[in-house]
Amino acid sequence: MTSKREAVLSALHTLVRTALASSTVTVERGDALPEAIPAGGLVIIRDGKPGEPEYTLSPLIYHYQHAAEIEVFVQSADRDARFDDLCRSIGSAVAADRTLGGLCDWVETSAPEPADLPVAGGATIKAGVVTAILHYSTSDPLN
């Protein structure tokens, strides 16, 4: 059986992958940054940090505000518009399913802080991280 943490992170990955399925973007989870960014862009979901939980007693329940990271990379002539499109698509998908199918109490996202990364002999990469705060509860932090 999958832990609550893994189920929530997997659902976030599925939500983002589904939201971007109609584009040529590559969506991964936890992978290393490749040497080249695919033409349609790259999104990597990082597990992030669950943080210190709050808890209630009787029964004991741990309440997490897990900060997962959604890294967005674009390397193309229209990188500003493409980056914006990818971030908007992710935001729209989260807004449409803030409970990840009932696994979370709530999901909220932050605005990315974009950065332009120069590449020697190549097009500049536009990159940014969208933080997704996943609010969920579990009876055991390891299950």
Radius of gyration of the CA atoms of the chain, in A: 16
Q: What is the mean pLDDT of residues 109-130?
A: 91
Residue 93 CA: distances (Å) to CA of 21, 124, 126: 12, 27, 21
Cα angle, residue 87 at apex, residues 83 and 91 outer, rounded to 5° = 170
What lies within 8 Å, CB to CB, of 23 at 6+ separation is 40, 41, 85, 86, 89
Predicted TM-score (pTM) of this structure: 0.93
pLDDT 10s digits, 17-71: 999 988 789 999 999 988 889 989 999 999 999 999 999 998 999 999 999 999 9
- Residue 141 token pair: 């932090």
**pLDDT mean across residues, the chain:** 94
Return left, alpha or beta for 51; rule: phi > 0 is left, psi -120 to 50 is alpha, else beta. Answer: left
The full DSSP string for 56-86 is ETTTTEEEEEEEEEEEEEE-STTHHHHHHHH
Q: Which of 10-14, 53-57, 59-63, 115-119 has the lowest mean pLDDT?
A: 115-119
Q: What is the mean pLDDT of residues 93-106?
A: 97
Residue 3 CA: distances (Å) to CA of 31, 98, 116: 21, 20, 37
What CA–CA distance (Å, rounded) separates 108 from 126?
23
